[in-house]
């Protein structure tokens, strides 16, 4: 049980490390990469939370999140690459 | 422990999303903010709210903001000419090719769903630049025409291409200035 809690804390620390990349990132691509990292960390944290709270439907939420993160980063990347056209 | 770290980072992200000038970057901050927010909803055992927040904040709002950024605002073009004490509309349009050039720029803006707003002024360029109200400045001294725009403006690259293709006979020079602008109308900042 406590191992999962440690995993949760480690994931949070990693998430904050990716946040630092988002904040200082010199170009917008660094920020996009950081956003993608945050999304994956959140998905993992939700999976850990599902085991911790013993609720299996949280795994479904994790799937929804990963899809959404994918869509969001694709949208922003396309927007920047095409210079203002989605 | 976990929740305090996440709440703190949410605070930082919210402030950044509010106070960041370049709007593309603010959209990214907001997207991450709402992701962490929805995770915290899950943490506080409200999974239905969390799913709604994720769908709205991460998906819909990002799409909506990016589309809104695309079709945007009035594009203000300033024409300066220090040779004449007063520059009127007619004096420029009279001069064959230059009038065409100005009209071309207007059409160019219309094609990109920007609403061009032409201003004529006898002020020197430095004053116009300092006022910072214009997105594009066309400056004429004698025969030389200089087009001055912010480096972060995507439109200027396309405009330069057009001018190179069609107006080789005029001595047109394109200049860029600035890194990040401090007023709020920065369209698409930051070089790749």
Tell me the average confidence (pLDDT) per consecutive run of 10 residues in chain A, 86 residues long. 87 91 85 90 91 87 86 82 63
Which pairing describes strands B136-141 and B144-150: parallel, antiparallel, or unpaired?
antiparallel
Residue B190 and residue A27: Cβ atoms within 8 Å? yes
ipTM: 0.85
Nearest chain A residue to B25 by CA distance is A28
Residue B42 and residue A83: Cβ atoms within 8 Å? no
Q: Is A24 on the interface with B (CB under 8 A)?
A: no
What's the pLDDT band for B188 if we cut at 50, 70, 90?
Answer: very low
Q: How far is A54 from chain B (nearest CA, A)?
A: 12
Would you tell me how many other CB atoms lie within 10 Å of the CB of residue A45? 25
**Residue B15's pLDDT is what?**
93
B136 or B171, higher pLDDT: B136
CA atoms within 13 A on the CB side of B50: 25
**Sheet order of strands, B74-81 included:** B115-121, B74-81, B136-141, B144-150, B172-177
Compute φ and ψ for B136, nearest 5 degrees: -140, 135
Q: How far is B57 from chain A (nearest CA, A)?
A: 10
What's the pLDDT band for B180 if we cut at 50, 70, 90?
Answer: very low
Kindly report, residue by residue over B53-109, the tens digit of the pLDDT: 888 887 788 888 877 776 655 567 777 766 665 555 555 555 556 667 777 777 777
Q: How far is A2 from chain B (nearest CA, A)?
A: 14
Q: Is A13 on the interface with B (CB under 8 A)?
A: yes
**Residue B189's pLDDT is what?**
43
Q: Is B125 on the interface with A (CB under 8 A)?
A: no
DSSP of B106-145, one letter per residue? HHHHHHTT-EEEEEEE-S-HHHHHHHT--SEEEEEETTEE
Residue A76 and residue B66: Cβ atoms within 8 Å? yes
Q: Is B4 on the interface with A (CB under 8 A)?
A: no
Our CA angle for B94, B99, B104, nearest 5°, is: 160
Residue B148: enclosing H or E segment and its boundaries? strand B144-150
d(CA A41, CA A13): 10
Question: Could you report how far apart the first and last alpha carbons of chain B are, in Å?
Answer: 37
B54 contacts B35 by C-beta, under 8 angstroms = yes
Point out which residues pair with B174 in neighbouring strands: B147
Nearest chain B residue to A17 by CA distance is B9
Our CA angle for B152, B153, B156, nearest 5°, is: 125
Contacts of B32 in chain A (CB under 8 A): 19, 22, 34-35, 38
d(CA B9, CA B43): 15
Q: Is A14 on the interface with B (CB under 8 A)?
A: no
Residue B66 and residue A22: Cβ atoms within 8 Å? no
Mutate to test the interface with B, among A9, A12, A20, A43 (most CBs of B within 10 A): A12
């Amino acid at each position: 049980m406590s191992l999962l809690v440690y995993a949760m804390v480690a994931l949070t620390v990693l998430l904050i490390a990716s946040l630092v990349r988002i904040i200082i990132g010199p170009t917008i691509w660094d920020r996009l990469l950081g956003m993608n990292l945050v999304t994956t960390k959140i998905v993992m944290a939700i999976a850990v939370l599902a085991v911790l709270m013993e609720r299996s439907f949280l795994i479904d939420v994790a799937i929804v999140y990963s899809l959404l993160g994918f869509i969001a980063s694709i949208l922003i990347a396309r927007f920047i690459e095409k210079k203002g056209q989605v | 422990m976990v929740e305090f770290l996440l709440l703190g980072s949410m605070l930082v992200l919210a402030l950044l999303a509010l106070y960041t000038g370049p709007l593309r970057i603010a959209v990214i901050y907001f997207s991450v903010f709402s992701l962490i927010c929805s995770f915290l909803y899950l943490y506080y055992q409200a999974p239905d709210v969390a799913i709604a927040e994720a769908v709205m904040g991460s998906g819909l709002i990002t799409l909506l903001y990016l589309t809104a950024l695309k079709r945007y605002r009035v594009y203000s073009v300033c024409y300066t000419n220090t040779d004449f004490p007063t520059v009127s509309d007619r004096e420029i349009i009279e001069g064959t090719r230059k009038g065409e050039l100005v009209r071309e720029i207007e059409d160019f803006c219309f094609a990109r769903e920007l609403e061009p707003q032409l201003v004529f002024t006898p002020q020197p360029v430095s004053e116009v630049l300092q006022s910072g109200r214009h997105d594009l400045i066309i400056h004429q001294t004698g025969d030389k025409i200089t087009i001055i725009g912010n480096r972060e403006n995507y439109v200027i690259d396309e405009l330069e291409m057009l001018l190179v293709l069609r107006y080789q006979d005029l001595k047109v020079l394109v200049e860029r200035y600035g890194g990040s602008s401090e007023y709020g109308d920065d369209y698409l900042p930051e070089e790749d």
